[in-house]
C-alpha cells in the first residue's frame, strides 16, 4: 500500500473522529504553545541583549580585576589578612584584592592598551548649581569612553575619546534640581562638587571642584549605565578620588579598571596575556556570554515546562490511539483480511498519531505567534525595552522544526497502539458475535 | 482449481484442544459455485478461513492453482489475498463513515493500483452491483441491501479468482436476499470466478453447483448438482 494512500486514510479516520482528534491535539498544543513562546522569548532576549551590548559596549573593552576569579562568581570566601595586602573591604561582601597604582601603570604601559581608567572611589558631599543654593547628593563616576550615551542636550565626544578635564556630563534628572528650566540652559554653566576627605580624622577638610556642563544625557531604554551619576573625565575622577581617599587604606586602590584595547588587536589575546600575569579579565564578549547564560537558563526552565506538558500529552495520544484501535477492531480486521500488511496497518495508526502531532503543533504555535504578536507591544512597554525591541521574536525555522519534532514524538507515542493494531488477528476481529 | 488435502485445524492446547477440522479433503474446479453447509460450530467458517489464507491449519495443504498457500510467508499470503480473493461478510463490514467510492477503493489501494485505474475499476464495480448513483454517498446512508451490494462491489473490484461469501444473505430480508443471491450467481457465471458460499441456508445452498456438508469438523457428504459436471471429488 502506498504511503500517500495510508496518510490520506489516516487523515480521513481522524476527520471521522473530530472531537477526539481536536481534544488530543489540544493537549499537544499546550506543549507546543509553551515551547514556541519559550523559543521566541529566548530568541528575543538574545537579540535584545545583543542590541543592548552592541549599542552600549565597545567590543575592544576589557574589565580588569586583581583577582583571577573575580568574574567567576566572585572571590573564594574569606581571605587571609596581611598588613600590606591590598584588600579592600566592601559593604556586604568579603574583602577583595584590589589593583594598586602600579598595576594600573603596568597595564597602561602595554602597547596593546590604548587607555585605562580605574574605578575611582569618590565620595562627594553635594553638587550645586551656579547659584550655590540648590545642593543635592551626587554620585560621581568617570566618563566611560567605551559606551554610547543618549545625549539630550550639548555634545559628547565620539567613542574612545574622553571629555575635557574641566567638563562634566549630567543626567537629565539634575536639570530641574539645580534650578535650570530646560537641558539646553545648563550647557556651559558651572557646577560645583564638594568633596570631603574620608580620613576619619576629626579635622574635616572639604574641597570644591568646579566643572562646566558639556552635555545632558538621557535615559535610553537600551542603555546599561546608571544615568543618575554625573560623569567627569578620567583624570578629574582620579584627582577627586585621590583627594577623598588620601591617607586611607584605599588610597590609589581600585576594585576594577576598564581598559581599552588598541584597535586591530583581539581583546581575547590581551585578556589571555593579562590572565597569565594573574589578573581577572572580562571582555565584552565574556559579558555577552554571561548575559546569554542567564537568558539560556531562564529559557531552559520554560522549555522544561513545555516538555512536561508534552510528556502528559504523549500519554494522551497513547490512550486515544488505544481506544481508537479497540473501536476499529472490525475495520482493522477487514483491512487485514483484504490483504493489507501488518506494517501498513501499523503505519496507518502511526500516521494518525503524526497528524494529531501536526495539528497540535500547528494550533499551539500559531496561537503562540498570534498571542505573542498581539501582546508584544504591551510587554515592550511594561519592561521598557525601547521602541522596536520585542521580547518575543518568532522565527519560522524553529517553529517548523518544533512541529516536525512533535509529529515524530506523536508517532513514537502511537507506536504501541499501532503495533497492537498490526498484530490483530483478522479472524478474531471479524467475528460477529 | 482449489484442492484441499487432509487439513486439520486445532484450537487451544492439550486438554482444552478442540479440533475444528479433521482431515478434510476436497477439490473445486475453477468457475464453480460451492456451498459449504453446516451448523454453527461445525467448522465451516474455519474451512473458509483456511481456504482463503486467513488461518493456518497445522496439517494438510491448500493448493490454489498448484501453490500451497499454507507454505507461503505472511507477505506473500497477504498479496495472494489482495490479488486473488474477495470477501463478502454477513455483517457487510463496510466502513460506515466512508463514501461508497472509498469503501470500494480500499482493496485497490492495498494492492497498489494507480489512481487512474482505481477510479475506473471502482466505477465499474459499483456499476455491476447497481450502485453507480451512490458513489459519493456515505455507507451509513445506505440500506442493508445496498450495503451488501457495496460489500460485493468491494469484493469484486480486484477481479478476484475466488469469491468467498460468509452468510451473505443472513442479515437481509427475503426479497433483498434474493436479489443479492441473483447478483452473486450472475457474477459467478459472467466473470468465471469461483464462488464459495458459507451458509446454513438450504435454499441458498441448493442454487450452488456443489454442496459440501460439514459436521463436527468432518465432511459429511458432497452433493453435486446434476446440471453441471464441473465439480469432482
Within 10 A of B173 (CB to CB), how many other CB atoms are there? 10
Closest by Cα among B69, B95, B70, B103 to B83? B69
* Strand locations in B30-168 (E): 33-37, 59-64, 67-68, 85-88, 162-166
d(CA B219, CA B212) in angstroms, rounded, equals 7
Average pLDDT, integer, range A294-307:
88
Partner-chain contact A339 B82, CB within 8 Å: yes
Task: Please tell me which residue, B50 or A1, carries the higher pLDDT value.
Answer: B50
Give pLDDT, residue A203: 56
Give CA separation, A26 vs A33, A333, B148, in Å.
10, 30, 39
Rounded distance between C-alpha atoms, residue A380 and residue A47, angstroms: 14
Give strand pairing partners of B221: B213
Residue with more model confidence, A245 or B21:
B21
The overall average pLDDT reported for chain B is: 89
- Note whether B89 and B166 are within 8 A (CB): yes
Identify the contact set of chain A against chain B, taking CB-CB distances under 8 A.
1-2, 5, 9, 12, 16, 330-331, 333-342, 344, 426-427, 430, 432
Interface test with B, best of A5, A339, A428 (most B CBs within 10 A): A339
Among A94-103, A276-285, A348-357, B3-12, the minimum mean pLDDT is found in A94-103
pLDDT in the model for residue B231? 47
Chain B residue numbers with beta carbons less than 8 Å from the beta carbon of A1 are 109-110, 112
Side-chain half-sphere of A15: how many Cα atoms within 13 Å? Answer: 8
In whole angstroms, give the CA distance from residue B211 to residue A271. 99
Q: How far apart are CA B38 and CA B28, in angstroms?
A: 18
Contacts 24+ apart (CB under 8 A), A322-330: A322/A416, A322/A417, A322/A420, A323/A20, A324/A13, A324/A17, A324/A20, A324/A349, A324/A352, A324/A417, A325/A349, A325/A417, A325/A418, A325/A420, A325/A421, A325/A424, A328/A13, A328/A421, A329/A424, A329/A429, A330/A429, A330/A430, A330/B93
Distance of residue B225 Cα from the nearest chain A Cα, in angstroms? 31
Q: What is the pLDDT of residue A143?
A: 83
End-to-end CA distance of chain B: 12
> Residue B232's pLDDT is what?
46
Q: Where are the beta strands (DSSP E) in A228-321?
A: 230-232, 253-254, 256-261, 280-283
Q: For A11-15, A259-263, A424-428, B62-66, which range has the lowest pLDDT when averaged over its residues? A: A259-263
pLDDT of residue A123: 78
Q: Assess B124–A contact: CB distance below 8 Å, yes or no.
A: no
Dump pLDDT digits (tens) for A358-405: 999 999 999 999 999 999 888 888 887 777 778 888 999 999 999 999
pLDDT at site A17: 87
Q: Are strands B85-88 and B162-166 parallel, antiparallel or unpaired?
A: parallel
| Residue matched to cell numbers 508534552 | A310
Provide the 10 A C-beta neighbour count for residue A255.
18
Find the range with the poorest average confidence among A147-151, B49-53, B109-113.
A147-151
Is the alpha carbon torsion for A34, A36, A40, A43 positive or negative? positive
Choose between B119 and A160: higher pLDDT.
Answer: B119
**Is residue A199's pLDDT more than 70?**
no
- The more confident residue out of B95 and A68 is B95
pLDDT in tens, A213-244: 988 888 665 555 555 788 888 888 888 888 88
Q: Which residues in chain A have their CB less than 8 angstroms from residue B87's CB?
A: 337-338
Residue B54 has its nearest CB partner, among A5, A330, A337, at: A337
Within 8 A by CB and 6+ apart from A316, the residues are A24, A27, A28
Question: DSSP state, B178?
Answer: H
DSSP per-residue string spanning A145-202: TTS---EEEE--PPTT-PPPTTEEEEETHHHHHTT-SSHHHHTT-EEEEEEE--S--S
A12 and B93: CB-CB below 8 Å? no
What pLDDT is recorded for position A321?
Answer: 92
Closest residue on chain A to B78 (Cα): A339
Hey, what domains does chain B have and what are their CATH numbers? 2-224 (3.40.50.300)
Q: Provide φ and ψ at A102, rounded to 5°.
A: -65, -45
**The three three-digit cell numbers of residue B51, written as one number:** 481456504
Burial of B137 per CB tally in 10 Å (0-12, 13-18, 19+): middle
Q: Does B191 touch chain A (CB under 8 A)?
A: no
Helix (H) or strand (E) holding B110: helix B100-110
- Give A-chain residues touching B106 at CB under 8 angstroms: 335, 338
Query: In this structure, what C-alpha cell is assigned to residue A316?
Result: 494522551
Indicate yes or no: CB of A339 within 8 angstroms of CB of B79: yes
Task: Using the CB atoms, write b or e for A215-236: b if 16+ within 10 Å.
Answer: bbbebbbbbebebebbbbbbeb
CB pair distance less than 8 Å for A339 and B109: no
Which residue did the predictor score with more confidence, A53 or A400? A400
Gap from B117 CA to chain A (nearest CA, Å): 14
Please give the radius of gyration of chain B, using alpha carbons only, rounded to the nearest integer. 18
Tell me B43's DSSP state.
S
Residues in chain A within 8 Å Cβ distance of B54? 337, 426-427
Residue A284's SS3 state is: helix
Q: Which residues pair with B211 in a beta bridge?
A: B35, B223
d(CA B86, CA B88): 7
Q: Does B98 touch chain A (CB under 8 A)?
A: yes
Convert B190-219 to b/e letters by CB count within 10 Å (16 or more is b).
ebebbbbbbbbbeebbebbbbbbbbeebeb
B120-156 residue pLDDT tens: 999 999 998 889 999 999 999 999 889 999 999 999 9
Residue B233: band (very low, low, confident or very high) from pLDDT cuts 50, 70, 90: very low
Instruction: Output A63 or A222, whichever has higher pLDDT.
Output: A63
Beta-strand relationship, B210-215 and B59-64: unpaired
Q: Phi and psi (nearest 5°) for A413? A: -65, -35
Interface of B with A in 47-76 (CB under 8 A): 49, 52, 54-55, 74-75
* ipTM of the complex as predicted: 0.89
User: Does the structure show a pLDDT above 90 at A164?
Assistant: no
How large is the angle between the packed helices A18-56 and A342-382, nearest 10 degrees? 40
Lowest mean pLDDT among A273-277, A317-321, A323-327: A273-277
Interchain contact, A427 vs B54, CB within 8 Å: yes
Rounded mean pLDDT of chain A?
84
pLDDT more than 70, % of chain B: 97
> What are the tens digits of pLDDT across the range B148-179?
999 999 999 988 999 999 988 888 888 888 88
Contact state of B107 with A341 under an 8 Å Cβ cutoff: no
Residue B63 is predicted with a pLDDT of 93
Short-list A273, A271, A287, A288, CA closest to A64: A271
Chain B residues touching A430 at Cβ < 8 A: 89, 93
pLDDT at residue B228 tops 90: no
Nearest CA in chain B to A16: B97
What does the alpha-carbon distance between residue A161 and residue A81 come to, in Å, rounded to a whole number?
Answer: 40
Amino acid at each position: 500500500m502506498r504511503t500517500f494512500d495510508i496518510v490520506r486514510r489516516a487523515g480521513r479516520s481522524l476527520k471521522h473522529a473530530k472531537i477526539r482528534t481536536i481534544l488530543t491535539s489540544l493537549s499537544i498544543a499546550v506543549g507546543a504553545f509553551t515551547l514556541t513562546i519559550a523559543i521566541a522569548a529566548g530568541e528575543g532576549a538574545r537579540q535584545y541583549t545583543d542590541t543592548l551590548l552592541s549599542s552600549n559596549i565597545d567590543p575592544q573593552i576589557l574589565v580588569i580585576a586583581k583577582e583571577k576569579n573575580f568574574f567567576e562568581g566572585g572571590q573564594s570566601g574569606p581571605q587571609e589578612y596581611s598588613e600590606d595586602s591590598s584588600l579592600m573591604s566592601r559593604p556586604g561582601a568579603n574583602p577583595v584584592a584590589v589593583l594598586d597604582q602600579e598595576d594600573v601603570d603596568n597595564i597602561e604601559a602595554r602597547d596593546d592598551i590604548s587607555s585605562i581608567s580605574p574605578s575611582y572611589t569618590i565620595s562627594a558631599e553635594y553638587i550645586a548649581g551656579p547659584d550655590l543654593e540648590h545642593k543635592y547628593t551626587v554620585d560621581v563616576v568617570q566618563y566611560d569612553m567605551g559606551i554610547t550615551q543618549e545625549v539630550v542636550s550639548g555634545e559628547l565626544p565620539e567613542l574612545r575619546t574622553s571629555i575635557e578635564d574641566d567638563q562634566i556630563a549630567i543626567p537629565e534628572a539634575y536639570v530641574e534640581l539645580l534650578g535650570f528650566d530646560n537641558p539646553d540652559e545648563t550647557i556651559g554653566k558651572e557646577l560645583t562638587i564638594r568633596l570631603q576627605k574620608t580620613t576619619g580624622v576629626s579635622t574635616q577638610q572639604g574641597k570644591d571642584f568646579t566643572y562646566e556642563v558639556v552635555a545632558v544625557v538621557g535615559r535610553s531604554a537600551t542603555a546599561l549605565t546608571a544615568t543618575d551619576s554625573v560623569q567627569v573625565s578620567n583624570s578629574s575622577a582620579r584627582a577627586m578620588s585621590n583627594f577623598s581617599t588620601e591617607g586611607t587604606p584605599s588610597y590609589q586602590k581600585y576594585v576594577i579598571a576598564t581598559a581599552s584595547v588598541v584597535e586591530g588587536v583581539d581583546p581575547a589575546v590581551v585578556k589571555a596575556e593579562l590572565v597569565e600575569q594573574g589578573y581577572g579579565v572580562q571582555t565584552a564578549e565574556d559579558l555577552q556570554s554571561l548575559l546569554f547564560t542567564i537568558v539560556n537558563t531562564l529559557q531552559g526552565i520554560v522549555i522544561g515546562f513545555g516538555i512536561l506538558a508534552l510528556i502528559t500529552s504523549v500519554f494522551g495520544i497513547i490512550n486515544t490511539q488505544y481506544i481508537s484501535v479497540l473501536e476499529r477492531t472490525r475495520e482493522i480486521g477487514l483491512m487485514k483480511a483484504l490483504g493489507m500488511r501488518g506494517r501498513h496497518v501499523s503505519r496507518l495508526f502511526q500516521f494518525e498519531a503524526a497528524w494529531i502531532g501536526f495539528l497540535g503543533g500547528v494550533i499551539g504555535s500559531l496561537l503562540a505567534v498570534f498571542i505573542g504578536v498581539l501582546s508584544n507591544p504591551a510587554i515592550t512597554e511594561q519592561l521598557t525595552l525601547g521602541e522596536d525591541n520585542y521580547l518575543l521574536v518568532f522565527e519560522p525555522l524553529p517553529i517548523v522544526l518544533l512541529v516536525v519534532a512533535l509529529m515524530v514524538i506523536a508517532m513514537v507515542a502511537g507506536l504501541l497502539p499501532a503495533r497492537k493494531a498490526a498484530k490483530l488477528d483478522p479472524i478474531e476481529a471479524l467475528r460477529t458475535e | 482449481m482449489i484442492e484441499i488435502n487432509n487439513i486439520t485445524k486445532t484450537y487451544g492446547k492439550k486438554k482444552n484442544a478442540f479440533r475444528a477440522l479433521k482431515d478434510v479433503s476436497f477439490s473445486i474446479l475453477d468457475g464453480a459455485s460451492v456451498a459449504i453447509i453446516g451448523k454453527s460450530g461445525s467448522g465451516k467458517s474455519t474451512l473458509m478461513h483456511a481456504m482463503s489464507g486467513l488461518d493456518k491449519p497445522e496439517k494438510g495443504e491448500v493448493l490454489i492453482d498448484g501453490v500451497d498457500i499454507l507454505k507461503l510467508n505472511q507477505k506473500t499470503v497477504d498479496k495472494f489475498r489482495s490479488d486473488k480473493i474477495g470477501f463478502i461478510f454477513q455483517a457487510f463490514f463496510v466502513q460506515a463513515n466512508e463514501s461508497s467510492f472509498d469503501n470500494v477503493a480500499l482493496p485497490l489501494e492495498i494492492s497498489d493500483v494507480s489512481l487512474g485505474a482505481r477510479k475506473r475499476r471502482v466505477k465499474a464495480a459499483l456499476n455491476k452491483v447497481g450502485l453507480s448513483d451512490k458513489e459519493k454517498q456515505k455507507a451509513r446512508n445506505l440500506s442493508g441491501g445496498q450495503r451488501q451490494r457495496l460489500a460485493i462491489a468491494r469484493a469484486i473490484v480486484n477481479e478476484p479468482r475466488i469469491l468467498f461469501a460468509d452468510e451473505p444473505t443472513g442479515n437481509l430480508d427475503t426479497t433483498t436476499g434474493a436479489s443479492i443471491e441473483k447478483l452473486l450467481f450472475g457474477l459467478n457465471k459472467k466473470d468465471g470466478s469461483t464462488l464459495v458460499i458459507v451458509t446454513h441456508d438450504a435454499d441458498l445452498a441448493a442454487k450452488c453447483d456443489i454442496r459440501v456438508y460439514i459436521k463436527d469438523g468432518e465432511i459429511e457428504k458432497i452433493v453435486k448438482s446434476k446440471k453441471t459436471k464441473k465439480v469432482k471429488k
